Chain A
């Protein structure tokens, strides 16, 4: 099977992860901008980070036959540094309109402070002005309230619900997101947030429409193979293969292709890897034999 992981932080992952993902059938990923696990202290850190997302990381992914897209935005935690926020919001037009940027994200709330709300609103307005998809991070604490409020504010700004993805949902929030007409994404973490078994139950209960599975794998304990693993569990437990395809590939493609930044026809083709064309052995291969014309196994 083929998989689309529409929320994963690949800058924190190794080439072993890329290889395992490619072997497991992950063909495309979206890397939303977020924090580093600790707050940045200067806007230059954002410049380099955003540049990595549209540059080196995309190139790294391509070496494994994986199409790498990204979302650009100021995350909610760092929105609480208001001086920095002003500077980062000025950077937004320089990066969010680049090739392969499929959404503004991940943005939203962490503690639901006024500063977070101002940054969220400003970025929603930017998304509206440029007709972009929005990827929303829902908070860990006071989650249900945060999800409702992020949808309310997006609606007030005028974001069409068909262009709004609310991520990190759980059993308590999914119904309200689906009711509003937004897309409901689920982050599958080994120990916290959602587990694969709970995801199987949710798909059985709510069906596949506007439901999206992602790994959100990052620098923490997380699983870059969460999407293929969950798909396997769904199939094992009798979920209709079409539903698995929808939740682990098609829905993500549909919502983010609205950006016009995904060449859907190219993505549908079986990827070919030719590391010798593009890779430096001073960089990543470091002396391994390049893989040439090896079809990515999936």
Chain B
């Protein structure tokens, strides 16, 4: 956690982020005609702030399309090198444009920027919120924005939630345990893809396991299936109660749930996993290969 923060305070990282975004956006602005873009960057770099900056961020939607940024595999590797855990694979051109505009502010490290960012969020539409939340990890002293990011997790608009929670090292690096645990449980509620939460396996904890097991009990009492991704929130922390709940799931007729529970038992270090039947053979192979990290919880449906 601290290593991320330390790295982000170096100006080298920021120069790298600028070049990464400029390179990723380069082809778009070459095709689209760069007049607005050049002028916007200049004005922001010259100190544009307050509602004038907000208006620039808004009207970006009239110049930059919501099409995939599609930076390519090499650029994605490079992104991860610059900022471990940062995965802009699903960014669109408009989001990258807005991120670059944010980073162009000359006062990034000052209170004026933090205060503007809060006001921007209060007035933001869905697209702006997505771009701002996706950009938080790229900002210097990003931990300043953890309260704002936690607010982002209270949304019921799933794409906004994902912008805070997924493909970014921000929550892992900056959320306290309460915000972290609430984010993961909320993700289960709204069906957000927890497999894309960076650092999930490294911040599993007993309180999270208890909350997840309580939720599993609630779902069963209501006669509803347990979300398969719930079983990735336990790790080694749930004790006997976790093992019982996982075994219960394994005995159900819910294919994806059974597979996830099997992985959950392996993650708990449970000795003597049951003999895999045909539904479980795929995940059994994953466990044999030691593939029991968060990403192993993908493709559990037939």
Name the distance in Å between A227's Cβ and chain B's nearest Cβ: 26
A54 CB-CB contact with B under 8 Å: yes
Question: Hey, what's the 0/1 contact readout for B193-208 against A, CB within 8 Å counting as 1?
Answer: 0000000000000000
B51 CB-CB contact with A under 8 Å: yes
* B61–A98 CB distance below 8 A: yes
Q: Choose from A51, A94, A277, A279 the contact partner of B54 (Cβ within 8 Å).
A: A94
**For chain B, which range describes its interface: under 10, 10 to 19, 20 to 34, or 35 or more residues?**
20 to 34
* A94–B123 CB distance below 8 A: yes
A41 CB-CB contact with B under 8 Å: no
Q: A51-B123, A54-B125, A95-B123 are in contact. Are A280 and B158 (CB under 8 A)?
A: yes
Give chain B's interface secondary structure class.
helix
Q: A94-B54, A97-B55, A97-B58 are in contact. Are A277 and B125 (CB under 8 A)?
A: no
A267 CB-CB contact with B under 8 Å: no
Name the distance in Å between B272's Cβ and chain A's nearest Cβ: 36
Name the distance in Å between B1's Cβ and chain A's nearest Cβ: 29
Query: In A50-104, which residues have CB < 8 Å from any B CB?
Result: 51, 54-56, 58-59, 90, 93-95, 97-100
* A93–B51 CB distance below 8 A: yes
A114 CB-CB contact with B under 8 Å: no
Q: How far is the CA of A287 from the CA of B123 in the complex (A)?
A: 31
Highest count of chain A CB atoms <10 Å: which of B55, B122, B157, B159: B157
Q: Choose from A94, A276, A279 the contact partner of B58 (Cβ within 8 Å).
A: A94
Q: A93-B55, A94-B51, A94-B54 are in contact. Are A280 and B189 (CB under 8 A)?
A: yes
Question: Hey, what's the 0/1 contact readout for B111-138 against A, CB within 8 Å counting as 1?
Answer: 0000000000011111111000000000
Look across to chain B and name the residue whose beta carbon is closest to the beta carbon of A44: B122
Name the distance in Å between B302's Cβ and chain A's nearest Cβ: 15
Contacts of A287 in B (CB 8 A): 222, 224
Name the distance in Å between A34's Cβ and chain B's nearest Cβ: 19
B191 CB-CB contact with A under 8 Å: yes
Q: A97-B58, A99-B61 are in contact. Are A282 and B189 (CB under 8 A)?
A: yes
* A276–B123 CB distance below 8 A: no
* A55–B224 CB distance below 8 A: no
Name the distance in Å between B190's Cβ and chain A's nearest Cβ: 4
* B126–A58 CB distance below 8 A: yes
* B122–A277 CB distance below 8 A: no
Q: Choose from A54, A260, A278 the contact partner of B159 (Cβ within 8 Å).
A: A278
Q: How far is the CA of A76 from the CA of B83 in the complex (A)?
A: 51
Contacts of B159 in A (CB 8 A): 278
* A55–B158 CB distance below 8 A: no
Known contacts A47-B122, A59-B157, then 12 further A-B pairs from the complex at CB < 8 Å, ordered by chain A residue: A51-B122, A51-B125, A54-B126, A56-B157, A94-B58, A97-B59, A98-B128, A99-B58, A99-B125, A280-B190, A282-B189, A283-B156
Interchain residue pairs with CB less than 8 A apart (12): A47-B123, A51-B122, A51-B123, A51-B125, A58-B125, A94-B58, A97-B62, A279-B191, A280-B158, A280-B189, A282-B189, A287-B222
Q: Give the 3 A-B residue pairs with the shortest CB-CB distance, closest first.
A: A280-B190, A283-B156, A54-B125
List residues of chain B with CB under 8 Å of any chain A CB.
Answer: 51, 54-55, 58-59, 61-62, 122-129, 156-159, 186, 189-191, 222, 224
List residues of chain A with CB under 8 Å of any chain B CB.
Answer: 47, 51, 54-56, 58-59, 90, 93-95, 97-100, 260, 276-284, 287
